[in-house]
């Protein structure tokens, strides 16, 4: 689900009737409650979801920095196991070399539009998904459907009043409701084809969306929860007869390893994530944003530490007591040791991440593509 965080979904306890289909599907689902993206951008999400890597610390996302990043990807791994693979999107994929990234990482069939339309488009995904699945029923399949209508400026067929006194948020909630209906139709089709028991329906968001909670709109500018905390449900009536809520910290980079673990497959050594079925009580989620100020963050238990490098501003929040992240504890003396420890962790991640990704990037190819990107930008 494009630009859909977990904060405003009824399936996660929000006071809006926007996810009746997810509510129903969650009766046979693992519902992960604390899943964080590394960076609240679509391109960063693609690298995290399919290659299980944290973002590149800079102005370029992984797909722009190195679309042919030499790290095995989930669709390529499944293709080697005999799966058919496809990526179907109701928007365009030119931005940040995303289409090239997907092709280089195992998606054999990619369907998208040539531009982002200014009207409702996602409903077409259902028919396209069914047609693609029925093309060859002899093989297992890995199909990714990526919606568009929930992206700013939020398109939906309905115009219900959610009583939020914010026209943009009301539009987004209507778009979420439409996307929820779409997911319900896909689930119904899977069931109608007799595939429910042996098909995993994995539902997530690429990132969240801000509506002024911290003075910011849309996404990509901060590491607060409204932008970085996403839904993640694994639906299968045979494997999950009743809803199971999982409240431990997880990361977007853990989704692919979790899927492989269900299939009995080991993740590649290059992946930075790990299966959420592993009992890792010390798992931390690292966060990054460069579109606003250059900011890093880390979620460690109930505490979230943020450091704004532009303003040299530390922020510390207790998410259990302060889920809205409004009470900065960083200047309180009893948290001094915590602030120092978490700052050093961010420094370590900042020192490590780009060098790690650089081990798997083709330098000559990367330089050529980045040069081409600059040329294209100047022409626009």
- Convert the pLDDT of each residue in 101-154 to its tens digit: 999 999 999 999 877 667 788 999 999 999 999 999 999 999 999 999 999 999
pLDDT of 87 strictly over 50: yes
| DSSP category for residue 73 | -
Instruction: Supply the CATH number for residue 193's domain.
Output: 3.40.720.10
232 and 375 belong to one structural domain: no
77 and 146 belong to one structural domain: yes
* pLDDT of the residue at 118: 73
376: which residues sit within 8 A by CB, 6+ positions away? Answer: none
Q: What is the largest CA-CA distance in the chain?
A: 64
pLDDT of 3 strictly over 90: yes
Per-residue buried b or exposed e for 236-256, using 16+ beta carbons within 10 Å of the residue's own CB? beeebeeeeeeeebbbbbbbb
32 and 113 belong to one structural domain: yes
In-domain check, residue 5? no
* pLDDT of the residue at 371: 42
Mean pLDDT (whole number) for 343-370: 81
224 and 113 belong to one structural domain: yes
* pLDDT of the residue at 94: 87
Q: Are 3 and 16 in contact (CB under 8 A)?
A: no
pLDDT of 373 strictly over 50: no
Mean pLDDT (whole number) for 278-291: 89
| Residue bearing tokens 């058919």 | 84
* pLDDT of the residue at 370: 44
pLDDT of 376 strictly over 50: no
pLDDT of 36 strictly over 50: yes
6: which residues sit within 8 A by CB, 6+ positions away? Answer: 12, 33, 35, 205, 208, 229, 230, 231
**Average pLDDT over all residues of the chain:** 92
Looking at the 3D structure of the chain, how many domains does it have? 2
237 and 88 belong to one structural domain: yes
In-domain check, residue 1? no
* pLDDT of the residue at 363: 54
Q: Count CB-CB contacts under 10 A for residue 118.
A: 8
In-domain check, residue 2? no
Q: Count CB-CB contacts under 10 A for residue 35.
A: 24
Range of the domain at 341: 288-379
pLDDT, tens only, 242-254: 999 999 999 999 9
Mean pLDDT (whole number) for 9-32: 97
103 and 199 belong to one structural domain: yes
Mean pLDDT (whole number) for 365-370: 44
pLDDT, tens only, 152-180: 999 998 899 999 989 999 999 999 999 99
28 and 138 belong to one structural domain: yes
Residue 73's pLDDT band (boundaries 50, 70, 90)? very high
Looking at the DSSP bridge assignments, the partners of residue 143 are 86
């Amino acid at each position: 689900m494009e630009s859909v965080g977990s904060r405003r979904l009824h399936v996660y306890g929000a006071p809006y009737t926007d996810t009746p289909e997810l509510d129903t599907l969650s009766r046979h689902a693992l519902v992960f409650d604390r899943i964080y993206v590394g960076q609240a951008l679509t391109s960063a999400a693609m690298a995290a979801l399919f290659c299980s890597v944290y973002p590149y610390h800079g102005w370029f996302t992984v797909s722009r920095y190195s679309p042919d990043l030499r790290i095995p990807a989930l669709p390529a791994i499944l293709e080697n196991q005999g799966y058919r693979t496809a990526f179907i999107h109701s928007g365009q994929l030119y931005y940040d070399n995303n289409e090239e990234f997907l092709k280089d990482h195992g998606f054999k069939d990619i369907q998208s539009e040539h531009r982002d339309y200014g009207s409702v488009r996602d409903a077409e995904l259902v028919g396209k998904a069914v047609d693609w699945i029925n093309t060859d029923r002899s093989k297992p399949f890995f199909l990714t459907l990526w919606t568009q209508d929930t992206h700013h400026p939020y398109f939906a067929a309905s115009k219900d009043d959610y009583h939020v006194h914010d026209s943009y948020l009301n539009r987004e909630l209507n778009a979420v409701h439409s996307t929820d209906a779409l997911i319900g139709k896909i689930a119904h089709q899977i069931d109608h084809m007799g595939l429910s028991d042996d098909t995993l329906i994995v539902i997530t968001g690429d990132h969240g969306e801000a509506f002024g909670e911290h003075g910011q709109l849309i996404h990509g500018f901060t590491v607060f929860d409204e932008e970085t905390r996403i839904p993640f449900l694994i639906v299968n009536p045979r494997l999950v007869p009743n809803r199971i809520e999982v409240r431990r910290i997880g990361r977007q980079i853990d989704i692919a390893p979790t899927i492989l673990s269900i299939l009995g497959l080991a993740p590649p050594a290059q992946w930075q994530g790990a299966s959420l079925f592993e009992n890792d009580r010390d798992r931390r989620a690292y966060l990054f944003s460069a579109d606003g100020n250059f900011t890093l963050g880390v979620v460690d238990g109930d505490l979230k530490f943020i450091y704004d490098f532009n303003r040299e501003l530390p922020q510390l929040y207790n998410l259990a007591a302060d889920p809205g992240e409004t009470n900065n504890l960083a200047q309180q003396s009893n948290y001094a040791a915590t602030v120092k420890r978490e700052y050093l962790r961010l420094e370590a991640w900042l020192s490590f991440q780009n060098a790690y990704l650089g081990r798997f990037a083709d330098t000559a190819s990367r330089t050529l593509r980045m040069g081409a990107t600059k040329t294209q930008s100047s022409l626009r």
